[in-house]
Structure 1
Amino acid sequence: MPESDSPQVRRDRHSALGAAVIVCLAVPALAVLVVDVPADARRANGLWFVGTAVGSALLPFLYWSPCRALGLVPLAAIAWLAAIGHGIYWGEWPGWAHGAPLGLIVGALARGCRGEEPWPETAALFGAALAGGGIAWACVERGRPFDVPRGFVLLASVVLVGWSWGRLFRPLFELVVEPVLWVMYRVRRAGTGYTDFPRTGACLVIANHACWFDPIFLAKVLPRPLTPMMTAKFYDLPLFRKLMAAFGIIRVPEKALKKDAPELLEAIAALDRGECVVIFPEGYLRRSEDRPLRRFGQGVWQILKARPSTPVFAAWIEGGWGSYTSYFNGPPTKNKKPDFRRPLGVGLSTAVVVAPEVLETHLLTRTHLMNLVSAAREPLGLAPLPLFELPAKADAENESG
């Protein structure tokens, strides 16, 4: 599937396009209201509108995560609706109060853009801008009172709030959660894998698993939406299930993996759709100090057998062991203090495509991938773990799952 046809990318693009069309339709009518002030204040109000819009449009580009920058749109839409409500009630339309949220919306939409935009969508934006200009011209020709443009921008802002909160809820959710994560952890990233990490197209991220929050740490450092696999124990929690389903998280049943396990088929389908799938091949959380990495299960091999050309990024998460949600000194959340500014590192190696001769057997593949994850420790200044080798026959039979 071409990257531009990926359902996830297409949905993000259409969500952004819808918001941009609403803004393009409304801005000309809003400009009529902003400059409808005494002549001596008209220039200043217009400059405030343009200046704050340009300045605010630059702010999303200072935020490191392109995909989560889209979460600024629903928040700015609420601010713009409030400014319009103020204008309708008090009859005041300060340029800065409208320029700031609109600039933030436009900047966030530009920052979050992934992949190429097809020409019909570009044409739709130009068409919306022309239509908006036509509406504004008709309002000016009609003359005062400007009830029509006031009603039009109010309608546009209400539609924008509903559209953005419905279509961009995931980046909004991640954006709101990030400050909480910042209070709890100091996450740093290191490694060559970040340099050319693809913002579109299928890829598989594998990592060690030491605590509950490992998927969140990866989401923090990677520049695109992730599709992780989550055990049913957490996926099925009340209110949590609908959220996970909406985010496209893959549910893993609480049972041993089988060859035709539905979660593996879902992971393969997600890769077919051009998504970034995250898997912790150990299958469960680290349990002891002396065994930082357990033998990988067959699931990751089955995924790669079905999609042998998938680029694989190996990651090592350091600092999760010993955290509040790890099995250090007891079950997660037991016998440990809540984390506060705990240092964490996520090393990421350059993508590799597993060689066909390695994929011929599951044990060779699993051992190879374990060594890749171990090597991802080096960017964090950690020595790799002792080289993993193919197990003896008896061990292989015991750990064939």
Structure 2
Amino acid sequence: MIRFLDATLGRWLRHFLFVLVRSYYALFYNVSCSGKHLLQDQPGTLILATHVSRHDGPMIAALLYSTKRIRPTVHYDEYYNWGQFLPMYVASAIPMSSPKSWPDEKRKERKATILEIVHKVLAKGNSVLLFPAGRVRREEHERVPAYLSGVHEILRLEPDTPVMLLRLDGLGRFQEAQYDGFWSFVGIKKGRRHVAMDLRPLNDLDPAQDLEAFNAQLEELLNKPISYEL
């Protein structure tokens, strides 16, 4: 019954929600996305993205929705926040992590459950959006703490999982803000903010290395400028 509701009512709700979100970003942001077509022919992809603002998740999911269904990952506390739960649920977000107040054994069980969900989603041909840094950037460069193990564990369990790197430019606090003249007809000098999304396959990320080296390599890749050839 749950699967039937998700495939019928849930599908319509998701489509309506993403049309609204995409319309909002079309009005207030001028977004370009290179490499989006590559995702269309690559099912079950793990998308690793830079995290420059709180707009990242909804913007990426909305812009890629017509290309491939994206299941975003969000922190446990955000998913179960009463003010955000409905859109998170409709978007089929995957809650990551767990409260630090939980016993260690319960947290380990929760982690194992999350990994199982992620791999089931990928096996069905859907893509999973994950922010390796774990939180919105608070400095000029992306930082992937050595203790964050989500990406490493996902790829160690299924090393053949297709991976793509998604970098955002022009949206974050530490990125240059440029605007067009879209709203000039009503006397507003600043129109839509220009945002560039760059999506590319990532083939040289080795999950066989230890966690600290893996995260250091991932951090380096996330911080390469968009014009840089991988």
Same fold per superposition (TM over 0.5)? yes
Which has the larger strand fraction? 2
Paired residue for 1:185?
A: 29
Deviation at 1:200, TM superposition (A): 6.0
Deviation at 1:187, TM superposition (A): 1.0
Structure 2 letter corresponding to 1:370: E
TM-score by length of 1: 0.44
Paired residue for 2:59?
A: 217
**Structure 1 gap ranges (5+):** 1-9, 16-162, 324-338, 385-401
1:53-202 superposed matches below 5 A: 167-190=11-34, 193-198=35-40, 201-202=43-44
Deviation at 1:360, TM superposition (A): 3.4
With over 3 angstroms needed to count, the CA separation of the structure-2 counterparts of 1:295 and 1:351, relative to structure 1, is closer
Paired residue for 1:371?
A: 220
Which of 110, 118, 134 lines up with 1:283 in the alignment? 134
Cα distance in structure 2, aligned partners of 1:242 and 1:219: 16
Deviation at 1:366, TM superposition (A): 1.8
CA contact (8 A) 1:187 1:217 kept: no
Which of 223, 228, 231 lines up with 2:75 in the alignment? 231
CA contact (8 A) 1:347 1:378 kept: yes
Cα distance in structure 2, aligned partners of 1:265 and 1:353: 24
With over 3 angstroms needed to count, the CA separation of the structure-2 counterparts of 1:259 and 1:281, relative to structure 1, is farther
With over 3 angstroms needed to count, the CA separation of the structure-2 counterparts of 1:275 and 1:293, relative to structure 1, is same
Matched, 1:305 2:156: yes
Paired residue for 1:348?
A: 199
Paired residue for 1:317?
A: 168
1:219-248 per-residue CA deviation (whole Å, 9 max, x = no partner) reads 244221211111233322326324422432
Matched, 1:293 2:135: no
Matched, 1:271 2:122: yes
Q: Give the match's secondary structure for 1:295.
A: coil
1:39-86 per-residue CA deviation (whole Å, 9 max, x = no partner) reads xxxxxxxxxxxxxxxxxxxxxxxxxxxxxxxxxxxxxxxxxxxxxxxx
**Structure 2 gap ranges (5+):** 175-189
1:190-230 per-residue CA deviation (whole Å, 9 max, x = no partner) reads 3xx43422356211000111111111232244221211111
Q: Give the match's secondary structure for 2:201.
A: coil
With over 3 angstroms needed to count, the CA separation of the structure-2 counterparts of 1:306 and 1:203, relative to structure 1, is same
With over 3 angstroms needed to count, the CA separation of the structure-2 counterparts of 1:351 and 1:212, relative to structure 1, is same
Deviation at 1:188, TM superposition (A): 1.2
Deviation at 1:170, TM superposition (A): 0.6
Structure 2 letter corresponding to 1:211: S
Cα distance in structure 1, aligned partners of 2:211 and 2:97: 22
Structure 1 letter corresponding to 2:198: G
1:99-126 per-residue CA deviation (whole Å, 9 max, x = no partner) reads xxxxxxxxxxxxxxxxxxxxxxxxxxxx
Which has the larger helix fraction? 1
Q: Over the residues paired in the alignment, what is the CA RMSD in angstroms? A: 3.2
Paired residue for 2:180?
A: none
Cα distance in structure 2, aligned partners of 1:322 and 1:378: 17
TM-score by length of 2: 0.73
Cα distance in structure 1, aligned partners of 2:191 and 2:154: 37
State which structure, 1 or 2, has the greater radius of gyration over its C-alpha atoms. 1
Cα distance in structure 2, aligned partners of 1:179 and 1:313: 26
Cα distance in structure 2, aligned partners of 1:360 and 1:350: 20
Structure 2 letter corresponding to 1:371: E
Across the two proteins, how many residue pairs are aligned to each other? Answer: 202
Cα distance in structure 1, aligned partners of 2:215 and 2:40: 24
Structure 1 letter corresponding to 2:45: C
Percentage of identical aligned residues = 22
Higher relative contact order (CA 8 A, sep 6+): 2
Structure 2 letter corresponding to 1:294: R
